[in-house]
């Protein structure tokens, strides 16, 4: 029986995935790192794998992220030379679209302000703006970003999109490259980040970016925690340049109980819940790529190391 090892610091996730493998891929033996059978594993399904864990497994020939992203694999560099695949869930777009739509409404309809008012028993209505008067920018126009930008445009919002290379989307004003970045940001009421994490995009949510938005704008980070410079966010919130931020991703997860973001005024913290692949989807894609690996076939959703996705 072919063995797959599950590597993560999240014990609950490990238990859930092991049960899912038993149900949806019973032809595979899914084991944890402390099982002696892990030495026989040919593939490792990973979510924040412990440092050095891959290097201790002599027969692993494939590292498989259990998510759409792969930057969490940086917690263990010992398997850096192995091919990496990621999960692509067709329902992932739906979950992320719902999350961003909620975040946009949160600020467009001033729910952030009325929630704050409730704490002080304050009754105050705010002028209602049409969706077309609310400018939303989406950074990253891959399958997720394109779907979200299209959804918001369909709801009547004034939507811009920005990507590394040129894109065309119906109802969306598209910008690309460094030369058009400032024009893309200019006057936005809300900025959504869905970029992959690369050396170029790391720290892109910074004071320079915030200053180009409309005063009192908001941001939504659904990309990666390393995109955001927290000190710059705090400064922008304190000055009023930003009114708020919805953050779903963090450099270290779970977010420590004493992390300042929990109590930072204007910040909404969600526990990396915007969208996640279903366990059966993860198992089937890991199982299929394991079959392809052993059969010498091309792997699905293979990551380009030079791009980071």
CB contact at 8 A, 237 and 245: yes
CB contact at 8 A, 136 and 189: yes
Phi-psi region of 48 (alpha: psi -120 to 50; beta: other; left: phi over 0): left
Which of 272, 279, 284, 292 does the annotation list as catalytic? Answer: 272
Please name which of 185, 98, 171, 194 lies closest in space to residue 136, comparing C-alpha atoms: 185
Q: How far apart are CA 100 and CA 292, in angstroms?
A: 35
Please name which of 303, 305, 218 lies closest in space to residue 268, comparing C-alpha atoms: 218
Q: How far apart are CA 98 and CA 113, in angstroms?
A: 21
Q: How far apart are CA 75 and CA 91, in angstroms?
A: 27
Which of 93, 224, 227, 243 does the annotation list as catalytic? Answer: 224
272 noted as active-site residue:
yes
224 noted as active-site residue:
yes
What distances in angstroms separate CA 47 from CA 118, 202, 214, one per listed residue?
Answer: 39, 20, 37
Instruction: Tell me the catalytic residues.
Output: 224, 272
């Amino acid at each position: 029986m072919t063995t797959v090892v599950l590597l993560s610091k999240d014990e609950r996730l490990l238990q859930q995935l092991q049960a899912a493998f038993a149900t949806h891929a019973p032809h595979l033996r899914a084991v944890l790192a402390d099982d002696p059978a892990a030495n026989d594993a040919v593939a490792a399904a990973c979510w924040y794998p412990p440092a050095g864990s891959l290097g201790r497994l002599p027969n692993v020939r494939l590292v498989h992220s259990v998510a759409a992203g792969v930057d969490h694999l940086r917690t263990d560099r010992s398997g850096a030379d192995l091919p990496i695949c990621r999960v692509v869930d067709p329902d992932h777009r739906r979950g992320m679209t719902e999350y961003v739509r909620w975040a946009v409404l949160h600020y467009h309809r001033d729910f952030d302000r009325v929630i704050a008012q409730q704490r002080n028993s304050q009754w105050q209505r705010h002028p209602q703006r049409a969706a077309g008067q609310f400018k939303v920018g989406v950074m990253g126009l891959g399958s997720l970003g394109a779907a979200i930008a299209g959804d918001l445009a369909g709801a009547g919002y004034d939507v811009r999109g920005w990507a590394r290379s040129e894109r065309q989307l119906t109802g969306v004003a598209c910008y690309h490259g460094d030369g058009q970045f400032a024009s893309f940001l200019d006057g936005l009421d809300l900025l959504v980040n869905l970029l992959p994490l690369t050396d170029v995009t790391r720290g892109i949510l910074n004071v320079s970016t915030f200053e180009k938005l409309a005063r009192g704008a908001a941001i939504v980070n659904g990309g990666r925690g390393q995109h955001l410079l927290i000190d710059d966010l705090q400064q922008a919130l304190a000055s009023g340049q930003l009114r708020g931020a919805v953050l779903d991703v963090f450099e270290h997860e779970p977010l420590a109980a004493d992390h300042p973001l929990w109590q930072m005024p204007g910040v909404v913290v969600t526990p990396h819940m915007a969208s996640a692949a279903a366990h059966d989807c993860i198992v089937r894609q890991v199982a299929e790529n394991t079959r392809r690996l052993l059969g010498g076939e091309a792997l699905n959703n293979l990551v380009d190391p030079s791009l980071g996705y």
